[in-house]
Amino acid sequence: MAGIGIRDVVKRYGDTKVIHGVSIDVADGELIVIVGPSGCGKSTLLRMVAGLEDITGGEVSIDGRVVNRLEPKDRNIAMVFQNYALYPHMSVYDNMAYGLKIAGLSKEAIRARVDKAATMLQLQPYLDRKPRQLSGGQRQRVAMGRCIVREPAAFLFDEPLSNLDAKLRVQMRLEIRQLQRSLGTTSLYVTHDQVEAMTLADRLVVMNAGVAEQIDTPMNVYLHPATTFVAGFIGSPAMNFMPGRLGADGRAVTLDTGAPLRALPEPIAGHGEKAVTIGVRPEHLTLVGSEAAELTLRVGVVETLGADTLVHGALLDKGQAVVPVAGEGGEVLAARLPGNVAVREGDTLPLRVVEGALHVFDRETGRRLADV
């Protein structure tokens, strides 16, 4: 096993800079998930670690050895692709054994490694089949088995579950996590799916336009997002954002309409009167009596999910005027309520933010100032 070091890595295509000095330290045996929207640079970064893309600047090391100029085959890594990349004319056994044959291992050693991996992945009954005779999940297992038999220093996963249906994705996600833990192999995993990211990762790297916006544990990213981008990307439905102001004392927080919210427990050092963005997750809004309400929601759309009910509507001030909300649906606030709450379109709901779940961001930079 081995750690992976990514130091100030830059990627340019001509004059266009697509990766802006990303640095990540992946500990031995750690599973790091790189997550972000399409086009943010996550797959490009992974391909630079794999050696499939040239590095414009910075340094990549695997097991303490700088690999910038090494060919992919010399980096002691194994990669699982989105499209499986299996040889259609070969059996499952031959697909898994092919890399070992090229490496010159004996037939006995190859058989032992393939049998071990096939048993681990429950592929023994399918070793004589061709890829076209397998389901999507079985093909992905074969692709993983091909990596396992090589006993590499690190696994690289490039959106490996994107081609699977929703139920199979859940199953394969659990299998990948259990497999990685049992093998203890250092892993980099790329996905745009935040549920995959949250459930698989030891730590997350949230990418935005070629920049690593935050690197932290999944729960810290969820509870203490570093920027409005991270706060809006992680969580479903997305975090609600409302324009507000921080008082001159660095503690008082109000909406732009003047409606007061709770004061910060401590003044924000170096920050007085300024424009801020106030964030609150839908699941952190609770129904209260009107006298205790901080926010009022006029219900527009109700989504009944069984255990939960998602309510979308307009945020109102005390005069029943609509307050602008910069959220997923424009001027719409979302709240996640218990499934047994009876809500109809047109209802007016008094809501309060759970203690410690109100986020304050600098409106100009998008950086987090405090959580209350």
The tokens describing 282, both together, are 């839908």
- 287: Cβ contacts below 8 Å, ≥ 6 apart: 337, 341, 349, 350, 351
pTM: 0.88
- Domain 4-229: give its CATH architecture: 3-Layer(aba) Sandwich (3.40)
- The mean pLDDT value for 157-169 works out to 85
Q: What pLDDT, in 10s, does the model give residues 358-372?
A: 899 999 999 998 765
Task: Report the pLDDT value the prediction gives residue 255, as an integer from 0 to 100.
Answer: 81
Q: Cα dist. 163→69, 156, 249, 369 in Å?
A: 32, 17, 53, 39
Q: What pLDDT, in 10s, does the model give residues 209-236?
A: 999 999 999 999 999 999 999 999 998 8
C-alpha torsion 182→187→192→197, nearest 10: 50
Task: Report the pLDDT value the prediction gives residue 320, as an integer from 0 to 100.
Answer: 62
Nearest to 219 by CA among 239, 195, 203, 236: 203
Residue 257 · residue 294 · CB < 8 Å? no
Mean pLDDT of the chain: 89
- DSSP letter, residue 264: P
Task: Report the pLDDT value the prediction gives residue 270, as an integer from 0 to 100.
Answer: 67
100-130 burial, b at 16+ Cβ within 10 Å, e below that, comes to beeeebeeeebeebbbebbebbebeebbeeb
Burial class (CB in 10 A: 0-12, 13-18, 19+), 290: exposed
- The mean pLDDT value for 268-273 works out to 72
pLDDT at 327 exceeding the cut of 50: no
pLDDT at 328 exceeding the cut of 50: no
Query: What are the residue ranges spanned by the domains of the chain?
Result: 4-229, 238-371
Helix (H), strand (E), coil (C) string for 287-314: ECCHHHCCEEEEEEEEEECCCEEEEEEE
